[in-house]
Amino acid sequence: MRIAHSAAIGISSIRRHKLRSVLTALGIIMGIGSILAMVSLGSSFESYIVGSYSNTLMPNEFVVSIGQKSGSGTSGSYYSVEVPVFTTKDIHHIQNESGITSVLPFGAFPGNNPNSVKFGNVSIFGSGATATEPSLNKFFRIANGSTFTSSSQCVVGSSVASAIDSISNKTSPAYAIGKVISVNLSGSKIVDFTISGVLAASPLGINGDVFVDQSYYNQTGSINGTNYVAYTDLAVLTGTADQVSSGISETLAYLNSSSQAKEILKDYANLNLGFVTFSQTEIIQFIDQEVQSFAGFIIALGSVALLVGMVGIANIMLVSVSERVREVGMLRAVGARKLDIMEMFLVEVLILGLIGSLIGVLVGIALGFVFLKLGLFGGASVPLVIDWAWVPLAILLGMAISVIAGLYPAYKASRISPTEAIRSE
C-alpha cells in the first residue's frame, strides 16, 4: 500500500471521527503547548534581564566591591557591603595594569537614611548620595541629559527621577533634568544640587542613587594610624570585552597581595569580608545557567504531559481498532498485507500528531503572550521572545510521541484476519 493511499485513508478516518480525533490530538496539544510556552517565558525573561544589564554595564567593564562570594566562576552567589578601603594608590595601580583603560571610584556617604534626598519638602525614600567623577557616563548609560560638569550638579538614578515625576504629577522621563534636590551628605551637611542627567534603569541597585562630585567625599581608611581617603567600590574599563577576565584576575591578584585596600580591610576582619567582582559577561552567564535550569524543569513537566497524552493516544487508537475490525478485515480479504495495515494506522496517528503539534505550537505562543500580559514578572514590561529553534523540535517530538503511542494499536490491527472480521459481525 502506498504512503499516499494510507494518508488518504487516515485523513478520511479523521474526518469521519472528529471528536475521537480531537481527543487523540489533545494530549499532544497540551504537552507541546506547555513546553513551548514555558520555554518562551524563559527566553523572554533572559532577554529582558540581559538587556537590563547591557543597558547598565559595558561589555568591557567590571566592578570591584567588598563582600562575600560563595561558589566559583559564574555559579554561587555574593553580596557586597559599603566599606571604604580602595585608596588613590590602589586606583592608580589598577589603572596601570595591562588592558585596563580607566578606573572610576565610588564612595558611599555614611549615614544615608530614607530622608537623605528631598525634592522641595518631600523626601525621596530609598535614595542616598554617592561620590564619583564626571566620567560616570563612560561606565553607565545616561538615558536623559548628561553627566555633571560642576560640583553643583548631580546625576540621579531612574527611581529618583520617577519620584520627582510623581511628586510633580508629570510623566516625562526628562522632566527631572534641571530640577534642584537637597541632599544630606553626612550629618547636618545639606547641599542643593541641580540634576544634569538621569541614568538608565538598572538591576544593580543604583536606581535610587544621587551621584555627586567626589570633592564632597572625605571617608578614610586607616593603615598603622595613617588615614587615607578610601572609596567603597571601583568600576573598571578594559580595552576590549575579551580582556575583562584577565583584568579581573590581575586586579584581584594585586588587591589580595600588596594593596592598601588589603591593609585597611584588616580593620573589618571580624566580618570575614573579601574582594568580589562582577561583570556583564559573568552576570549573563549566571542568568543563562538559571534559565537553563528553569527550562529543564519545565521540559520535565511538559514531558509528563506528553507521556499522559501518549497513553491517551494509545487508548483511543485501540478503541479505533476495535471499531474498524470490519474495515481491516475487508482490506485483508482483498490482499492488504499486515505491514500495509500497520502503515495505515501509523500514518493516521502521524497525521494526528502533526496536527496536534502545530496547534500546540500556536497554543504555546498564545499562552506565553497571555502570561506576559498578565504581568508574570512583577508587572515589568517584558516582550515575548520566541526561541524558533524549539518550534521544529517540538513538532518532531509531538509526531514521534504519536507514532510511539500508535505502534501497539497498529500492530494489533495488523493481526486482524478476514475470518475474525466476519465473526465480529
Confidence label for 259 from pLDDT (cuts 50, 70 and 90) = very high
Position 73 scores a pLDDT of: 45
In a domain? residue 75: no
Amino acid 379: pLDDT: 54
Q: Mean pLDDT over residues 303-312, rounded?
A: 79
Binning pLDDT at 50, 70 and 90, where does residue 243 land? very high
pLDDT greater at residue 186 or residue 100 = 100
The pLDDT, as a whole number, for residue 76 is 47
Same domain flag for 413 and 308: yes
* Residue 24 is assigned to a structural domain of this protein: yes
Predicted pLDDT at 65? 92
Region 237-258: mean pLDDT is 93
Residues 49, 130, single domain; the answer is no
What is the arithmetic mean of pLDDT over 154-169? 92
Pick the range with the lowest mean pLDDT from 115-124, 149-158, 336-345: 336-345
- Pair (47, 117) in one structural domain: no
Once rounded to an integer, what is the mean pLDDT over residues 115-126?
85
pLDDT value at residue 75:
45
What pLDDT, on a 0 to 100 scale, did the predictor assign at position 244?
Answer: 92
Edge-to-edge strands of the sheet including 226-231?
86-87, 226-231, 220-223
Of the listed ranges 26-40, 66-80, 316-330, the least confidently predicted one is 66-80
Looking at the fold, whether 46 and 131 belong to one and the same domain comes out as: no
Percent of the chain whose pLDDT exceeds 70: 86
- Which range has highest mean pLDDT (113-117, 178-182, 361-365)? 178-182
One-letter amino acid identity for 57? L
User: Average pLDDT, whole number, for the chain?
Assistant: 83
* Domain stop point among 178, 201, 218: 218
pLDDT digits (tens, 9 = 90+) for 380-413: 567 788 878 888 888 898 888 888 888 888 888 8
Q: Among residues 197, 218, 239, which one ends one of the domains?
A: 218
Q: Cell for 95?
A: 589603572
Mean per-residue pLDDT, 186-210: 84
Domain count, the chain: 2
Of the three residues 218, 252, 278, the one that is the final residue of a domain is: 218
pLDDT mean over 87-97: 95
- Higher per-residue pLDDT: 33 or 42: 33
Q: Does residue 132 surpass a pLDDT of 70?
A: yes
Whether residue 168 is predicted with pLDDT greater than 70 in this model: the reply is: yes
* Residue 67 falls inside a structural domain: no
133 — phi, psi (to 5°)? Answer: -110, 160
The answer on pLDDT for 21 being more than 70 is yes
Residue 212 — very low, low, confident or very high, per pLDDT cuts 50/70/90? very high
pLDDT at 268 over 60: yes
Percentage of the chain beyond pLDDT 90 is 32
Q: Decide if pLDDT at 101 tops 90.
A: yes
Kindly state the average pLDDT of the residues 267-273: 85
Residue 388 included in any domain = yes
Q: What is the mean pLDDT of residues 195-204?
A: 86
21 with 117, same domain? no
Residues 48 and 116 in one domain: no
Tens of pLDDT, residue by residue over 324-379, are 778 777 777 777 788 878 888 888 888 888 888 899 899 988 888 887 777 655 55
Q: Residue range 287-310: average pLDDT?
A: 74
For 144-170, give one letter per residue: b (16+ CB within 10 A) or e: bbebbeeeebbbbbbbbbbbbbeeeee
Q: Does 416 share its domain with 291?
A: yes
Q: Residues 204, 306: one domain? A: no
- Give the residue with greater pLDDT, 310 vs 267: 267
Per-residue pLDDT at 52: 64
390 falls within a domain: yes
Q: Is the predicted pLDDT of residue 149 greater than 80, yes or no?
A: yes
In a domain, 23, yes or no: yes
Domain containing residue 146? 110-218
Q: Is the pLDDT of residue 36 over 60?
A: yes
- Pair 28, 146 in one domain: no
User: Is 105 among the domain residues?
Assistant: no
Within a domain: 131: yes
Per-residue confidence (pLDDT) for residue 215, from 0 to 100: 92
State whether 148 and 38 are in the same domain. no
